[in-house]
Amino acid sequence: MPEVSKRGVRMPESPIRKLGPYADAAKQKGIHVYHLNIGQPDLPTPRVAIEAIQRIDRKILEYSPSEGIRSYREKLAKYYHGYNIDVCADDIIITTGGSEAVTYAFLASLDPGDEIIVPEPSYANYTAFAIVAGAIVKTIPSKIEDGFALPPVEKFEALITPRTKGIMICNPNNPTGYLYTQSEMNAIRDLVKKYDLYLFSDEVYREFCYTGAPYISAFHLKGIEENVILIDSVSKRYSECGLRIGALITKNKAIHKSVMKFCQARLSPPLIGQIAAEASLDAPDDYMLGVYNEYLERRKFLIDGLNQIDGVYSPIPMGAFYTVASLPVDDSDKFCLWLLKDFQYGGATIMMAPASGFYTTPDLGKNEVRIAYVLNKKDLAASLKILEEALKMYPGRTINL
């Protein structure tokens, strides 16, 4: 038998999905599983999007342009203007989810052996997409005791080599919920300028900033406009994960041209998804406000609840709909597995994402989990109760009752 590629062996399993078979097995035993593991919002997709899909009455479902439908890109440019992001339709390339945007950003700008620096914990699939490009991810730990603030600039500078080509951030952050401050963003800007790096900025959670602190886009930073590659997606803001519609936005003509070659090779992004995404831009203000308020309430409810459990600590996330919490356990990989395989409380259990998968430095995040607040408060209450009871029972518990 010919061998699987080394790359295929090295690819990490998704920390969000790898316990899936155990969740399925639990469900088959009749146990209800509360999914706190995945960023799949439970809030409704805008009605205007569903209706746009229902109204589709074309004879042929044909390829769209490789860069995406023009009318959608024009409307999207206006949406960005609402966030003071000064881009036009020609700066925007529609991609198959944010995933493809990150992949093509890396493929167009990084060669095998090139390095990017990412504060960790970070979205696990950045590493996967870097492996596709043959690039090396170097991480700098941010710490739960600092609320996952940006590590000091010196830590970045210490990692910079002649092969360093970029910095990747996610803001507001998945998995931590951290929102970078103006002075942190300025520090990133200065680094990018000093070393002439790409700044890959994943900003798919911009709608979800809860503290009144401003959302600062990479495109708000002056003097590095051509270094920025912005990653976006409709998945989270409109509960449209299934559409697979994202965007890559750049003012750098050379990168734009290069990305377009990858886009032409895959022909086009999904047609129906673009039609629905375009319609979503007309979602009424009270749709976004309702979603925002719901996450705001859940965030308070979840974080308060977590911090009331013995030995559990969560910083207060400023954005997105995740938190990384520390638990009084020996190994959160084992604990999350145990919850699905060996535990239930009142016929139910919880699935969380072990944080180890969001770190590349070995042993970091060993007692941390990522929790997504994509369940309603009743389910969050039930999940918190299950977590509390599980921690009383778990053999690997590290504090005494």
Q: Please give the residues from 180 up to 209 whose contact with a copy of itself meets the rule CB under 8 A.
A: 196-198
Does residue 58 interact with a copy of itself by CB under 8 A? yes
For 351, phi then psi, to 5°, come to: -115, 125
Which residue number, 276 or 350, has a Cβ lying nearer to a copy of itself?
276
- Taking a C-beta distance cutoff of 8 angstroms, is the pair 231, 169 a contact? no
CB of 149 vs a copy of itself, minimal distance in Å: 26
Give the whole-angstrom CA distance, residue 235 versus residue 159. Answer: 33
User: Which is it for the CA torsion 42, 47, 49, 51, positive or negative?
Assistant: positive
Kindly state the smallest distance separating residue 270's Cβ from a copy of itself, in Å. 5
Q: Decide whether 158 or 254 has the Cβ nearer to a copy of itself.
A: 254
Is 312 or 374 the residue whose CB approaches a copy of itself more closely?
374
CB-side neighbour CA atoms (13 Å) of 342: 11
**Omega of the bond leading into 175 within 30 degrees of 0 (cis):** yes
Kindly state the number of chain residues that form the binding site for a copy of itself, as judged by CB under 8 A: 87
Instruction: Kindly indicate which of the ranges 70-78, 237-245, 299-307, 328-336 contains the residues binding a copy of itself, using the contact rule CB under 8 A.
Output: 237-245
DSSP 8-state symbol, 277 = H
Least distance (Å) between residue 241 CB and a copy of itself: 4
CB of 2 to a copy of itself, least distance (A): 5
User: Binding to a copy of itself by residue 399, rule CB under 8 A?
Assistant: no
Piece in contact with a copy of itself (CB under 8 A), picked from 25-33, 75-83, 99-107, 174-182:
99-107
Which of the residues 131 through 160 are near a copy of itself (CB under 8 A)? 132-134
Stretch that binds a copy of itself, among 34-42, 296-304, 347-355, 388-396 (CB under 8 A): 34-42
The number of CA neighbours under 13 Å toward the Cβ of 93 is: 31
162 lies in the binding site for a copy of itself (CB under 8 A): no
- Residue 91 or 387: the one with the smaller Cβ distance to a copy of itself is 91
In the range 9-28, which residues lie near a copy of itself by CB under 8 A? 9, 11-14, 17-18
Q: Considering the rule CB under 8 A, would residue 356 count as an interface residue with a copy of itself?
A: no
Cite the beta strand spans of 36-184 per DSSP E.
Answer: 92-95, 115-120, 136-141, 164-170
Beta carbon of residue 90, minimum distance to a copy of itself (angstroms, whole number) = 13
Q: Please give the full DSSP string across 150-201, using - where no structure is assigned.
A: PPPHHHHHHH--TTEEEEEEESS-TTT-----HHHHHHHHHHHHHHT-EEEE
Minimum separation from the CB atom of position 339 to a copy of itself (A): 20
- Which of 72, 93, 109, 248 binds a copy of itself (CB under 8 A)? It is 109
Which residue of 119, 269, 315, 354 would you call a contact of a copy of itself, by CB under 8 A?
269
Type of residue found at 95: T
Contact region with a copy of itself (CB under 8 A), list: 71-79, 81-89, 94-102, 322-330? 94-102
Alpha-carbon distances of 124 from 8, 29, 96, 239, 251, rounded to whole Å: 16, 30, 18, 21, 27
Q: Are strands 348-351 and 32-35 parallel, antiparallel or unpaired?
A: parallel
Q: Is 222 in the site for a copy of itself (CB under 8 A)?
A: no
- Of residues 378 through 397, those in contact with a copy of itself by CB under 8 A are none
Please check whether residue 67 is in contact with residue 73, taking contact to mean a CB–CB distance below 8 angstroms. yes
Q: List residues bridging with 168 in a β-sheet.
A: 200
